[in-house]
Structure 1
Amino acid sequence: MRFTLRQLEIFAAVMATGQIRAAAERLYLSQAAVSQAMVELAEALALTLFRRDGRTLRPTRAAYRLAELSAGPRAALGALPAQLHGTAEAKLAGPVHIAASSTIARYLLPERLAALAAHHPDLRLSQSSGNTTQVAARVARGEADLGFIEGPADREDLRAAHWQTDRLVVIGAPGMPRQWPLADLHGARWVMREPGSGTRRVFEQRLALAGLAVPEAHLVLDDAGAQVRAVAAGAGLACVSRAASRSAVAAGDIVTVALGDLVFERPLWVIRATHDGTDALVDRLIDTLAGPISVAAQAPVSLRSTE
């Protein structure tokens, strides 16, 4: 038994109009093509679908039953373009791998991803983390659908767009001066991220713009949370995302320290591989993750992804 979606569409037009001629005009087909489609469909199903009454076709009971049973599958197949291209009717579904630099992965994305997963049960999200350089490489190789990074990608095989703005703060142990003189920048012991980290790059670039030499790293850690704990233990000063420091500052484990009037801010970027082309569903996912968590919990979407 073989029949096609096109035959079912023609059948639906004949049911709606009651005439071969009218159905042909509606579908911009010849009457012969419509008649042939109805003959082939009836033969494939081993059913009599219409009885002729003058110029009008009278549907049989089997035709009414076929119309009822085929309406859902025809609608579902007709919605496939919307599901694939991300129009408003598409829902968020399928595997998405997101790669994110460690601060974003740990402090900025989890609540948003949890909200998405809760409201879109057919969406299968996974996330990996690394520094900015590592995440960019994963996205370029196609190992992740999306990347969220703390520093510019600086690669021709990636497309980058602004996602959010992040404020960096300098932190110290309780008892540290709340104002640290720039002239004594090198007098402090510094707990820094590893080379390739977007946080470290922003810190060094801001000092350079102010005409200041970058201090030596006395302790290098590859995680913002580890920096916060090391500072709380008295290891020195560190520059971290405010999001990474917030709970420890509230608990009194660390304090924020001003470096003169320097302000450390950075754009956070969402990146995609240039060879992926345009994917409207990915665009909608990015828009959802860019909004407040309440928006992320409510917005419908669909696709693949990575940090």
Structure 2
Amino acid sequence: MHLHVDEEITFRRLEILLVFMETGNLARAAEKLEISTVSVHRALHALETGVRCALFRHEGRNLRPTEAAQALAEVGREVLRTMVDGVRSTREVAGYSADRIRIGSLYSLTHRTIPALVMGIKLRKPDIQTELILGSNADLLQKLRDGALDAAVMAIPKEASDVESQALFEDDILFAAPVGSRYAAQNEVDLSACAGERFVTLKEGFVTYSGFLDAFEVAGFTPNVVMKTGDIFSLMNLVSGGVGYTLLPGRVRGVMPQRVQLIPLQPKFLMRQTIALNFLRTRERDPNLLALLAVCRTAGAELA
């Protein structure tokens, strides 16, 4: 069944009708709506055109609503209330200005960065509930685009014109070895001299894995990867157990096993990650995200 309402009947004009019915006067309605009396009069006349019947009668210079106007006002009030509820529900389904915020994060950021951001958003918006979802850069980016996340704290994605990013800090990639290894006494590791070593790494999709490949491309050889894992904490334990060497971001220092040592790479092998808050450009006016952005701008200097 096709439903049609005359184009002269709009939400704004129904709102003007309700205010006029409440105030009973063109001038008072105009003052409350912050528009001119002429605009109020035109809106009421347009509604009469749309419903094709008289809604008001003239008594001198005043307009008096008819029973038809009362009926339209009653329906209009219900229509506006339903639409306001519908817009609110729609925004909540989309995660826009809801009472919760879904933040995605890399595993390596749960030690220091994520707690700082969660505490910051709690201080700014005490009633908001925070949901944390962990994954790789690739996983988080896809969830962001699917609407399963409101924001993702991860490396800035490449060639993602639909994503807006607020940088938090930069992180160097370092050589990770068991304590007491033959690299322990070195101030800098020459990665090109490690061709005969065994390595462990994260799976594809993690930004640290991308940095791992980039560094070995500069070194001029393909590393002998004996095992891959899906989280950075398991990766550090593999290094601790002597399964192989790897490359790790400096931010994991605070959660490393005692038997793992981080050693800088020679400058030519240096890889750097920019960690940022990422969100879809279409969501840039979301009040919850604006609050989170403000937290990031404050926390960024402390996290660097």
Q: Look up the match of 2:251.
A: 243
Q: Which of 284, 297, 301 is 1:291 aligned to?
A: 297
Q: Look up the match of 1:267.
A: 274
CA distance in 2, matches of 1:149, 1:212: 28
CA distance in 2, matches of 1:243, 1:220: 20
Listed as ranges, the matches of 1:1-307 within 5 Å are: 23=28, 26=31, 27-29=35-37, 36=64, 94-105=99-110, 107-117=112-122, 119-150=124-155, 152-155=157-160, 158-164=162-168, 165-176=170-181, 177-179=184-186, 180-208=189-217, 210-248=218-256, 252-261=258-267, 262-273=269-280, 276=282, 278-281=284-287, 283-293=289-299
Is the CA contact (8 Å cut-off) linking 1:94 and 1:122 kept in structure 2? Answer: yes
Is the CA contact (8 Å cut-off) linking 2:121 and 2:292 kept in structure 1? Answer: no
**Equivalent residue of 1:285, what SS?**
helix
**Letter in structure 2 aligned against 1:205:** D
CA distance in 2, matches of 1:241, 1:167: 6
Change (3 A) 1:259 1:8: same
The offset of 1:132, in angstroms, is 1.1
CA distance in 2, matches of 1:278, 1:150: 19
The offset of 1:283, in angstroms, is 4.7
Change (3 A) 1:211 1:253: closer
CA distance in 1, matches of 2:291, 2:29: 41
**Equivalent residue of 2:211, what SS?**
helix
TM score, norm. by length of structure 1: 0.62
Higher relative contact order (CA 8 A, sep 6+): 1
CA distance in 2, matches of 1:11, 1:270: 48
Is the CA contact (8 Å cut-off) linking 2:26 and 2:37 kept in structure 1? Answer: no
Change (3 A) 1:270 1:214: farther
Change (3 A) 1:125 1:213: same
The offset of 1:135, in angstroms, is 1.2
The offset of 1:127, in angstroms, is 1.6
CA distance in 2, matches of 1:294, 1:192: 28
CA distance in 1, matches of 2:299, 2:276: 18
For structure 1, which runs of at least 5 residues remain unmatched after alignment?
15-19, 45-76, 85-91, 297-307
**Letter in structure 2 aligned against 1:254:** V
Encode CA deviations 1:153-175: one digit per residue, 9 max, x unaligned.
Answer: 4456x324252322222222211
CA distance in 2, matches of 1:139, 1:265: 23
**Letter in structure 1 aligned against 2:275:** L
CA distance in 2, matches of 1:204, 1:183: 13
For structure 2, which runs of at least 5 residues remain unmatched after alignment?
1-13, 45-61, 74-83, 92-96
CA distance in 1, matches of 2:121, 2:30: 46
Equivalenced residues, count: 239
Is the CA contact (8 Å cut-off) linking 1:166 and 1:267 kept in structure 2? Answer: yes
Change (3 A) 1:126 1:25: closer
TM score, norm. by length of structure 2: 0.62
**Equivalent residue of 1:152, what SS?**
coil
CA distance in 1, matches of 2:166, 2:120: 22
**Letter in structure 1 aligned against 2:236:** V
CA distance in 1, matches of 2:27, 2:301: 47
**Letter in structure 2 aligned against 1:161:** S
**Equivalent residue of 1:229, what SS?**
helix
The offset of 1:101, in angstroms, is 2.8
Identical-residue share of aligned pairs (%):
12
